[in-house]
Amino acid sequence: MTFKNLHNNLERLTTKPRIITLFILAHLVLLMMMLFTFPRINAQLGTEAFDLKAMGYSVEEATVMINKLDQATVDLYLFPQLFLLDLFYPLLLGLLLSALIIRLSHLIKLPSGHILSNLYLLPFLAMLLDYGENILIAKMITNSNHVSETIIKTASLFTQIKSGTTTLCWLVVVVYFVVWLVRKKRR
């Protein structure tokens, strides 16, 4: 699928009802994580779960966290957290942010050839980083006796870049929205 085809398919999601639906679905999944899985995982770790540490974590910090995990918490972390809820959430959030960016790009009349017109791809980078992070966290918590420093450092890096990219996506949405509001007010 080419980027043009992807863009055309995503344009179908840019209606108000579809954006609202994506927003509700993504945030329902997030709410489930925040109410059910993360509190139990965080309580066992005595700190935030790996995926919630936006600034990453050191090898020493990760090792301490891994050693605090019991089998029940590892099982919960793997399923439903990493391999159910955190499969749906990045996809839904990526679709939502991409649809918002495309809709706002049209509203501010951003030319299709403009470099900023490709920012709709940024949420998918965050999604892929989130999936990579999930795989690395799963490797860390299931091989707790033999976790390499490389795995920990790479997982931490994925977490940091995912968090930064997601923040950048929301920033693009806010900036485009403000530009649209300013232009609308001038008219």
Contacts of 38 (CB under 8 A, 6+ apart): 48, 49, 52, 81
Q: Domain extents for the chain? A: 3-186
User: What are residue 42's phi and psi, to 5 degrees?
Assistant: -60, -40
pTM of this structure: 0.95
Tokens for 5, please give them: 């085809």
The amino acid at residue 114 is H
Predicted confidence at residue 6, as pLDDT, reads 93
Predicted confidence at residue 1, as pLDDT, reads 66
Predicted confidence at residue 102, as pLDDT, reads 97
Predicted confidence at residue 77, as pLDDT, reads 98
| Residue ranges in the chain whose pLDDT is less than 70 | 1
Predicted confidence at residue 51, as pLDDT, reads 96
Contacts of 69 (CB under 8 A, 6+ apart): 44, 45, 77, 141, 144
Predicted confidence at residue 50, as pLDDT, reads 98
Q: Specify burial of residue 59 (Cβ count, 10 A radius: 0-12, 13-18, 19+).
A: middle
Cα 91 to chain centroid distance, Å, stands at: 8
Tokens for 39, please give them: 């509190």
Residues 180/110, Cβ–Cβ less than 8 Å: no
